[in-house]
Amino acid sequence: MRALVCDDISDDFSGTSIRHLPLPEPGPGEVRLRIKAASLNFPDLLLCQGKYQLKLDPPFTPGMDTAGEVDALGEGVTRFDIGDAVVAGMRFGGLSQYVCLPVAGLRKKPSNLSFAEAASYQVAYLTAYVALVRRGNLQAGETLLVHGASGGVGMAAVDIGKLLGAKVIATSGSNEKLERVKAQGADHVINTVGGFREQVKALTEGRGADVIYDPVGGDVFDESIRCINFDGRLLVIGFTSGRIASVSSNMPLIKGFSVVGVRAGEYGRRFPERGEENLNTIWQWAEEGRTHPYIHGELPLSKTLEGFRMLENRQVIGKLIIRPDW
């Protein structure tokens, strides 16, 4: 089989390439999945650059979200049959043609989602759900400010924010991207070129946003402090800007807001029962057609590094899908 393998950590991905590997055999309690679609997530890039909080020793295969068909059953597996369409979330290993996984990490693919849509779903929507519901306590009628709204986790936050009854203000540095975000349901959109503080204050009658969802960090985080409501929650999702921001402790004190860290996967590992509830909720929403993942495009496995660079250069709206079967 073919897989994307990181043999050497490097900023420019020079140590990452497509390689031929032996076909894996499922062990007891595992199935082998023939991957039909895998989504690219920003942590995949960071893993290969050695910049993610999870550190892996090379060689390894990145890839967190996949969808495909059960190809072989390990000893004792009765929950799935060969040919079943399933989705799988993992910490790494998904950017390959086949992978062996414990059955506990699999669930049936919702029939109303394509393989690409299903593969785009779990990381983005789980991140947004844990952020907005578990950590941000977003309430109907509150104002949610979503930064980086045209990215995968940003689009998911807009989608879930509207589902929860919030007024959603979405930001991006591109008018073209904002048109897509608006079409996905955002109530208001702001181009961040030149700043966003005053526009947010105007849209909230001077109060500021109740919940701010920030996967960008850097200058965006700094300015967010200037337009957050009293008792607001500033959710730290990531640092795609490249700069990790800091805040003087007097600012949360004076303005009465909280800075809240979000690690969706770790939340589920620390609180397994709640973690299972989180997954069940987002996949039930998908099954019911209440959420709407957006696919930017699809690439063959051989062009995965091109996809990495598209993500790195902010050229992707929503989620970019890799098709190992192409």
Residue 140 pLDDT exceeds 90: yes
Contacts of 280 (CB under 8 A, 6+ apart): none
Q: Average pLDDT in the 176-195 region?
A: 95
H or E stretch at 157:
helix 152-163
In three-state secondary structure terms, 82 is: coil
- pLDDT for residue 55: 92
User: Are 2-121+294-323 and 123-266 equal in CATH topology?
Assistant: no
* 3-class secondary structure, 318: strand
- Taking only Cα atoms into account, the Rg of the chain, rounded to an integer number of angstroms, comes to 20
Q: What are the pLDDT digits (tens) for 292-312?
A: 999 999 999 999 999 999 999
Rounded mean pLDDT, 37-48: 94
Answer yes or no: are the C-beta atoms of 188 and 204 closer than 8 Å: no
DSSP string, 287-304: HTT-----EEEEEEGGGH
- Weakest mean pLDDT among 112-121, 149-158, 240-249: 240-249
Q: Provide the pLDDT confidence category of residue 241 given band limits of 50, 70 and 90.
A: confident
Domain positions in the chain: 2-121+294-323, 123-266
The pLDDT value given to residue 240: 84
Tokens, residue 54: 């999870």
Between CA 29 and CA 179 the distance in angstroms is 46
Model pTM? 0.92
Per-residue pLDDT, averaged over 13-42, amounts to 96
> Which H, E and C letters describe 220-287, residue by residue?
HHHHHHHHEEEEEEEEECCCCCCCCCCCCCHHHHHHCCEEEECCHHHHHHHCHHHHHHHHHHHHHHHH
Q: Mean of the pLDDT values across residues 128-155? A: 97
Q: Tell me the per-residue pLDDT of 95-134, one tens digit each, with 9 for 90 and over.
A: 999 999 999 889 999 999 999 999 999 999 999 999 999 9
Q: Which of 61, 60, 108 is nearest to 284 (CA)?
A: 108
pLDDT at 66: 96
* pLDDT mean over 40-45: 92
SS3 state at 215:
coil
Q: Quick one: fold of 2-121+294-323? A: Quinone Oxidoreductase; Chain A, domain 1 (3.90.180)
Fold of 123-266: Rossmann fold (3.40.50)
Q: What is the pLDDT of residue 111?
A: 92
325 — pLDDT class (breaks 50, 70, 90): confident
